Structure 1
Amino acid sequence: MRRIVLAICTAFVFGTVVNAHAVNVGMYGLTVADSADEFMQITKSNGFGLIYSGYDIASLNKAQTYGLKCLVNFNVSASMASDETQWKAFLNLLRSKVTELKSHPAIYAWYPVDEPDGQRISPAKIKEMVNIIRSVDTSHPIMTVVYDSTRWGNYLSYFDIIGVDPYLKLTRRGDYEKPEVVATVLKKLKSDLNKLKLRKRVWSVLGAFDLQPKDSDVVPPYRKPTPEEFNAMLKMAIDEKVDGILVYSLYAAKDNPTYKRWNLPVDDPNLWQAVRKVPQVVNK
């Protein structure tokens, strides 16, 4: 997710069969809100039910008051994993926090690391981290998102939920990828899982953000989809029978040094309307 910043939401109905293939539906990083309470209220009122959170009890308690579930993130980084002192301190923190929080009713899953393949974190470190979580808690799934198909095979076995984030990226040719990249990447991930004989839940993260450089000489590495392109991307994910669809709408927050703040509902109301309809479209 090119560094997750704020939130994930989902319209999954726990314990209820919505259709033959119920799909988790969520949203990362809606920046319309400047406070946790405002964000959670907007999240809830638009029919989403799961938010991304930190590993503190206060965040989980607040989410619970709004009837929301959480993906609990630990923000593991390559620099942390490459420093043995930092790594040992992190593993101690991880064990302590999972032990403390595992029974909290607001937890949906653990999200210890984002894009370990892109960060090139040692698979041995990932295994060590995941083993600690599972030694303490076996009732919640562990999730990550991967994006580098040349490396992700080294990480797939360690997680219960595997997401991919095929955004409309700038290519070496100087143009941007087309919406069809969603189907291409999902097919590749599913093919690799089959080759490895792994049964995992597959989720797709769809980009709904725009990068507006503060410096006119900066070429954005991604572009936003049009509402029509977003709808096409959503259909591709549904057609691939994914287990979850997350919409990532935050890339540049208000304090980003390179890009202007992106506020989806205000900056592109038409795209926002398409995003708001995702839960209805997916599980209709």
Structure 2
Amino acid sequence: MKKSYFLAALLTAGQLAGAVSLVNSNFEDADRGWKFPAGYSIEPLAGRNSSRGLYVKRTSADKISGWARQYINLEPGKSYRVSCYAKAQITQKGKYKVGASFVLSFGNGKKVIGKIYNNGLIESSNGKWVRLEREFTTPPEMKTCLLEVGLYNGFLGEAWFDDINIELNDQHFVYTVTPGNRLIFADDPQVTAAAVRTGQALEPGTSAIMTVKGKDFSSSAAGKLTNGQVVLTFKNLQKGPADAHLQLLAPDGQTLLAEERFKVTIVESAKTFKGTFVDRHGNLIVDGKPFMPLGFYIGQMSKEEIDMISAANFNTLLSYGSMYLRFNYGKPGNPPALAKTLEVMDYCHQKNIKLVFSVSNVSNSGAYAIKNWYGAEGPENVMRSAIKNLGPHPALLAWYIADEPPATLREYLTRRRELINTLDPQHPTFMVSMHFNELYNFAGVSDIGGVDPYPIVNRAQDMYDVRHAAVQSQKLGKPFWGVIQCFNQAYYTKTTPENHHKYWHEVHRDPSAEEMRSMCFQLAQFGAKGFIFYYWNCIKDYENRSKDPEYFRKAFERMKSVSAAMRTLEPYIMSVHGIETLALQKVSGKVIATLHKNNDGKRCVLITAEGPGKAAAELQLPGKFKSLFNKTFFQDGKYIFKANNIASDMLLEE
């Protein structure tokens, strides 16, 4: 996905308490904050997920071209972790064993008193992004710190960089998990809280205490964390808004490790609540009933597209153009208007389609910034107006507050979440991150988290990124949804008529129905409760680009088959039962099997193969099961799974 969000917040990110003053860490805000030598530039499509990124090309070793650089503020004597993503096409190696990488130089006056670096990429990465990381401690006498990123002197070729992150080591984060929307139900006054510690496990005996204060009451609840979570039960709450203070305490019960202050809304009961929220099982509840989001990211939409999507049993759309939705987009005489947005929402509701409404571009700056909106001026007033005018609509499912943000926006986005939760406690907030190793930065940013692993790059035959994203999401313990790749990476490649076929069918490829289904299944194995495919426009527009009248039909047939599989699985995902990881025997390849139960206790087994290559496993199950995708057979009292590359199966209890 393209990263477009609150760039304005980056202007103040360096002044936030505890924040590193790293400016424009993802290169989305032109060249602000950076100084570039010749050969360096920020280019569209040069970053991860086809966003902007830093690009360098060096064809001659005659001149030293230097690095992209900026000075940053770090505290002396503190332990940090620096990371960035890089890929490279190296045509000639340099003298030293440092290639495409980063360097931090610590200064005191005119003297350099220390340097740290990662060796980086000294070989070509074959189109794959590689995460470079280094832990370090700043010298006590440090006065300045210079960050440099680029291709080391002597190396020739091309290199790309994106998503630089610098953060303190050994941080603690504490946050609420459920209910969503910062709600507390008076007849069941429980809040699940969770905590994580970067780099290592929480100490045994770590506890949390949360105090809720209203106009005429105060109530506190405390408990020790088990597996990173604790259920806090309150007494004597009164309906209405209240202030909450959540603290994480060391085993001594005194030392404060982390804290969060936020507002909550106390309502009578989940049974009578009119709206959408996440329950204690991580399930999305809409007007009292479980709802599993299954749909697409989309731009603008037509009635015909809504009809088609609805008929295929999809139920959710997330439009990047939410704030200016209208039918016949782009046609003359069709300016945006609030009434036109409501017309689209009305039609979606008629067709049983829910909208995740994107406000990710409501900000003061950026290529797609929305500063004013139908008489509302300034981002906060725009948000208030959008919530007032659109919040009551029955088609609204959730608010999309950020699309792949950097960690520097954590405090800004937390305030945005609080504004929405306070003004519209009937709908949750949702955001997506591609920073799978640092998801803890966003634990308190939204009610529902999201991850968007896109494993089908070049002609890859594995989905490691999906498992990695799912595992990291599960560690947080928060409700999360998965974003599933349905697009060909060539969509974001500049092609010509001459090389079009090469990039679309030889270098890259479309994900198959089995691969998309397997991505969904594996995310579900780790607890995902919603599945949104990226990106409708990619599969719809390619038909026009390729002049292939059959392309979209075939692509959508694949999508429909995945939808059917997910609807079969839905009762097992949206249940009150947990997930059990099953023991496997005679395993070859990377195979995961999990047991799921629906609310009637009937069982389902999901099996996924990560790839690449052949995979097999045996498992013993009491009872009789039927394979839906013919990858598993019963023999000698065991179920035997066999597959190639990215694959999956679903076994349903008969």
TM over 0.5: yes
Q: Does structure 1 conserve the Cα–Cα contact (< 8 Å) formed by 2:452 and 2:482?
A: yes
Structure 1 CA distance, aligned partners of 2:389 and 2:553?
39
Structure number with higher helix proportion: 1
2:465 counterpart residue number = 181
**1:49 equivalenced with 2:304 (yes/no):** no
Deviation at 1:137, TM superposition (A): 0.9
The number of residue pairs the alignment matches comes to 258
Helix, strand or coil for the counterpart of 1:231? helix
* Residues 167, 207 of structure 1: 8 Å contact kept: yes
Q: Which residue of 1 aligns with 2:553?
A: 266
Asked whether the equivalents of residues 78 and 121 of structure 1 are also in contact (C-alpha less than 8 Å), the reply is: no
Deviations 1:33-92 (CA, angstroms, capped at 9, x unpaired): x9521111112211222222414323322222323221111232788379x995982222
> Any conservation in 1 of the 2:364–2:379 contact (CA below 8 Å)?
no
Change in 2 beyond 3 A, CA 1:51/1:230 = closer
In 2, Cα distance between equivalents of 1:48 and 1:108: 14
1:62 partner amino acid: Y
Matched, 1:24 2:292: yes
Structure 1 counterpart of 2:529 = 243
Contact 1:71–1:107 (CA<8 Å) still a contact in 2? yes
Identical aligned residues as a percent: 18
Ranges in structure 1 where 5+ consecutive residues have no aligned partner = 5-11, 195-199
Deviation at 1:267, TM superposition (A): 4.5
Structure 1 residue 235 displacement after superposition: 2.0
Q: Which residue of structure 2 aligns with residue 224 of structure 1?
A: 510
Identify the residue that residue 454 of structure 2 maps to in structure 1. 167
Q: Does structure 2 conserve the Cα–Cα contact (< 8 Å) formed by 1:25 and 1:279?
A: no
Aligned partner of residue 365 in structure 2, secondary structure: helix
- Which one-letter code corresponds to 1:240 in the other structure? F
- Please say if 1:141 is aligned against 2:428: yes
**Structure 1 residue 151, shift from structure 2 partner:** 3.9
Judging by fraction of residues, say which structure has more strand.
2
Q: Is 1:128 aligned to residue 406 of structure 2?
A: no
Q: In the alignment, is the contact (CA less than 8 A) between 1:75 and 1:113 conserved in 2?
A: yes
The TM-score normalised by the length of structure 2 is: 0.35
Aligned counterparts of 2:424 and 2:432: Cα–Cα separation in 1? 21
Q: CA shift at 1:164, angstroms? A: 0.7
User: For residues 85 and 229 of structure 1, what CA distance do their matches in structure 2 show?
Assistant: 37
Alpha carbons of structure 1 residues 15 and 91: separation in structure 2 relative to 1, 3 Å: closer
Matched, 1:202 2:449: no
Which residue of structure 1 aligns with residue 388 of structure 2? 99
Distance 1:78 1:93 in 2: 9
SS at match of 2:531: strand
Report the Cα offset of residue 183 of structure 1: 1.9
Distance 2:479 2:561 in 1: 25
* Match for residue 36 of structure 1 among 302, 305, 308: 302
Offset at 1:14? 4.3
> Aligned residue for 1:157?
444
Distance 2:358 2:547 in 1: 23
- The answer for the alignment partner of 1:7 in structure 2 is none
User: Which structure is richer in relative contact order (CA contacts within 8 A, separation 6 or more)?
Assistant: 1
| Cα 1:222–1:89 shift into 2, 3 Å | farther
Question: Quick check: 2:432–2:452 contact (8 Å CA) kept in 1?
Answer: yes
Q: In structure 1, what is the Cα distance between the partners aligned to 2:486 and 2:405?
A: 23
Q: Deviations over 1:214-243 (max 9, x none)?
A: 333896897532223223222212222311
Identify the residue that residue 266 of structure 2 maps to in structure 1: none
Corresponding position of 1:9? none
- SS of corresponding position for 1:80: coil
Unaligned 5+ runs, structure 2: 5-283, 324-340, 572-654
Q: Kindly tell me: are residues 23 and 247 of structure 1, through their superposed partners in 2, closer, same or farther at Cα, counting changes over 3 Å?
A: farther
Asked whether the 8 Å contact 1:145–1:162 carries over to 2, the reply is yes
Separation in 2, partners of 1:264, 1:237: 27
Query: For the aligned residues, what is the CA RMSD?
Result: 3.8
- 8 Å CA contact 1:210–1:222 kept in 2: the answer is yes
Q: 1:183 & 1:129 partners in 2: Cα distance?
A: 30
- Classify 1:13/1:102 alpha carbon distance in 2 versus 1 (closer, same or farther; 3 Å): closer
Offset of residue 126 of structure 1: 1.1
- For residues 225 and 41 of structure 1, do their structure 2 counterparts lie closer, same or farther at Cα, with a shift above 3 Å needed? same
Output the CA distance in 2 between the equivalents of 1:161 and 1:281. 23
Letter in 2 for 1:185: A
- Corresponding position of 1:252: 538
